[in-house]
Structure 1
């Protein structure tokens, strides 16, 4: 399904909603009402960066030329800023109302590695209000803006990022050390400068300082405050189409608190070792269409967020009405991801016709105690996966800020009966999530549902799935889960492991015949479990004393 099809479907949403309860998407009704998402209206006038003194020779700094071209068109009511063929070396670009930044064929924008060109600004990052270096491309409180064309936008990120030794070959590590910078005391991390090292080691919650209050405090760690390549915040009617975005200092594309966003036919890429090199992070946005795009990145590929902890709950802006269709994610920590900053809530999401090849996790839902927020009404269908490093499908309510691979390497343990904690506004909830038509060849684990004992993952359906993995599906601390027509083929261990689950149904569940232990159930809080499978019998079900009375096997 292409963008035109989606927009035509959305245009019909209003009339269809009355008759069918929602818009149409790829021939199927959406599970929520979705208004039309129109392309921004940009005036027909245009101006070339070259007309304002810019030179596309890869050396001449054209920051002023971009600013003048945008200002000239803005004074006339807006228009298209054309970037001709060539290599345009520049500092930050700020978009304004009714401005389209358009790259012609063979046009490349390369952002300068002179960090003094990127002043500290107040911004939202990782779900918190903080100070960061100004983004290479930014827009704030703007209407009708676009980034379009055929060229490449390069963030020159290697000049900004720290690198973990374990992500490089020995040759790459030696080359990085010889280039300058600072090596950490334990010898495992390369920092680009003392300023970066100070920020990384003086106390931070992932990438946001936990102690700095004033701008002067943040200036001490300036190099640590890497910018997002494209930051579009509090904007309305946004189009990003056709362009390749690469090598960001941090996340690549970060729309936050935006309404009516279309992202179509883009490519996002960076080295696999690029720390925090997310593809696109859609935060607290409403009415979003993302389609026909490709991601090959150093962190999560497509990520949905809505603020972090108390700051996100106080903001109270959910991410809602999101369509993701026809996208490919290659390397990345997750293919399609929700969280972990989801404290404002996420609802009404449709993901379809996507391919994940080589990601750490395929479908990744993550949060932790302290976040709060509700993730609900998610529908995912037609997902093909191959060579998934960890889990094909993951719900992790104990996320600790690391990739799934790093968590496994550190030996994250399993608890049979975890202690329940009080439920309050800081308790996150994931519910009403429906997944169907999933194919995965090659994963470490077929699925892992790891809910909180006091707030289970609940009301989740996985239907028509075929997963080949080293180990089977594990469902822990979950309520009202249905696996219907699911095949799990593990290389070792049980095909299905259950721990403290309630109202669980496995209908037409398939696994290899003759398994010594096809089903394993543990924990003392299990109840109402029904497993229907030709391959699972009372003879090859391994049930603990606390689980045996809760499990019924329909042989």
Structure 2
């Protein structure tokens, strides 16, 4: 069930593997949590203003620490160069009210043909999220008088062949050197992590692709994925939107279980492009319907466009 999906990042996006010529080009070093500029404790209510105020005032190369308890918040923006740290046992939970995420068209929490009506819970630019706490999108919480949850909204939209206006948990765009280290992401209303035009890495475990690499607006290249376990989803996917090309990607030291697909490359005549220099090393796959899949006629169900 979607409610059980968990995204566990026990690696950093910078702590990557070098395999052959499909390698990350940065200098890889052992990670340490950035120094803290301030620690916060829960207020007992909506913690958005307290968290955002400190994020905005924190100096670059430092982090805001959520030190203890369960924090409830509306959408947050992590400024460039600043990080967010969740201590062990800390939870940051998204308040499940569509109006709080609406982009101004009053469509968040509805179904339509565009699906771009919601802000993401966390928007990050050139920063990181650290430590062993949890970010919870509250995807199973009731969001309207009809007792719909985000999960149910997504299911209904898919059944009707339409788009869901649901928030993503973490959105990263136009950024470099993004780090997600040891953090747990759970119950996202939509994608757990979405990134575009970013020199970084997205590792996703959702009801669709466990990891999805595409090239819709720019080339995707020099990506390394290392040391991860996925318990459900559609596997290690490249495509279907590879218009600008995907190259120099390394998948290494991974375990995949109870999946529909294992290693998967997919596209079609509408969204096709060149996929080259892809390396799979030390991949363990079991209980997968299609352990290896090459699909040149992949159907594209989503017309959603992000800018």
TM-score by length of 1: 0.46
Question: Is 1:62 matched up with 2:50?
Answer: no
Tell me by how many angstroms 1:154 deviates. Answer: 0.3
| Equivalent residue number for residue 419 of structure 1 | none
Query: Greater share of strand residues, 1 or 2?
Result: 1
Distance 1:121 1:242, change over 3 A: farther
Distance 1:382 1:191, change over 3 A: closer
Question: Is 1:331 matched up with 2:220?
Answer: no
Which of 205, 215, 222 is equivalent to 1:306? 215
| Equivalent residue number for residue 48 of structure 1 | 39
SS at match of 2:91: strand
CA contact under 8 A between 2:64 and 2:83: conserved in structure 1?
Answer: yes
Q: 1:131 and 1:61 mapped to 2: Cα distance?
A: 25
Pairwise mapping of residues 156-171 of structure 1 onto structure 2 (< 5 A)?
A: 156-159=138-141
CA contact under 8 A between 2:23 and 2:249: conserved in structure 1?
Answer: no
- Gaps spanning 5+ residues in structure 2: where? 1-9, 106-113, 302-307
Q: 2:147 and 2:133 mapped to 1: Cα distance?
A: 31
Q: 1:180 and 1:160 mapped to 2: Cα distance?
A: 5
Runs of 4+ aligned residues of structure 1 deviating over 6 Å after TM superposition are: 39-43
Query: Greater share of helix residues, 1 or 2?
Result: 1
Distance 1:66 1:358, change over 3 A: same
Pairwise mapping of residues 152-551 of structure 1 onto structure 2 (< 5 A)?
A: 152-159=134-141, 180-181=147-148, 191=153, 204=162, 207=163, 224-259=164-199, 261=200, 280=204, 295=205, 297-307=206-216, 315=217, 317-333=218-234, 335-388=235-288, 390-401=289-300
Tell me by how many angstroms 1:365 deviates. Answer: 1.2
Tell me by how many angstroms 1:241 deviates. Answer: 0.5
Q: 1:114 and 1:158 mapped to 2: Cα distance?
A: 12
- Higher mean C-alpha deviation, range 357-366 or range 393-402: 393-402
1:328-364 per-residue CA deviation (whole Å, 9 max, x = no partner) reads 111112x211011222210011112211110001111
Q: 2:142 and 2:104 mapped to 1: Cα distance?
A: 17
Pairwise mapping of residues 16-55 of structure 1 onto structure 2 (< 5 A)?
A: 25=18, 30-32=20-22, 34-37=24-27, 44-50=35-41, 54-55=42-43
CA contact under 8 A between 2:120 and 2:170: conserved in structure 1?
Answer: yes
Tell me by how many angstroms 1:33 deviates. Answer: 6.0
Distance 1:394 1:200, change over 3 A: closer
| Equivalent residue number for residue 71 of structure 2 | 88
CA contact under 8 A between 1:181 and 1:192: conserved in structure 2?
Answer: no
1:178-237 per-residue CA deviation (whole Å, 9 max, x = no partner) reads 96349xxxxxx95489xx86x985x85xx3xxxxxxxxxxxxxxxx31121100001112
- Gaps spanning 5+ residues in structure 1: where? 11-23, 123-128, 162-177, 183-188, 208-223, 264-278, 281-294, 308-314, 403-555
Distance 1:323 1:160, change over 3 A: farther
Tell me by how many angstroms 1:42 deviates. Answer: 8.7
How many positions carry a matched residue from both structures? 280
Tell me by how many angstroms 1:239 deviates. Answer: 0.7
| Equivalent residue number for residue 88 of structure 2 | 105
Pairwise mapping of residues 76-155 of structure 1 onto structure 2 (< 5 A)?
A: 76-77=59-60, 79-120=62-103, 131-139=116-124, 142-143=125-126, 145-155=127-137
CA contact under 8 A between 1:160 and 1:226: conserved in structure 2?
Answer: no
If you compute each CA radius of gyration, which structure gives the higher value, 1 or 2?
1
Distance 1:159 1:340, change over 3 A: farther
Tell me by how many angstroms 1:381 deviates. Answer: 2.1
Cα RMSD for the two superposed structures: 3.4
CA contact under 8 A between 1:48 and 1:69: conserved in structure 2?
Answer: no
Distance 1:37 1:235, change over 3 A: farther
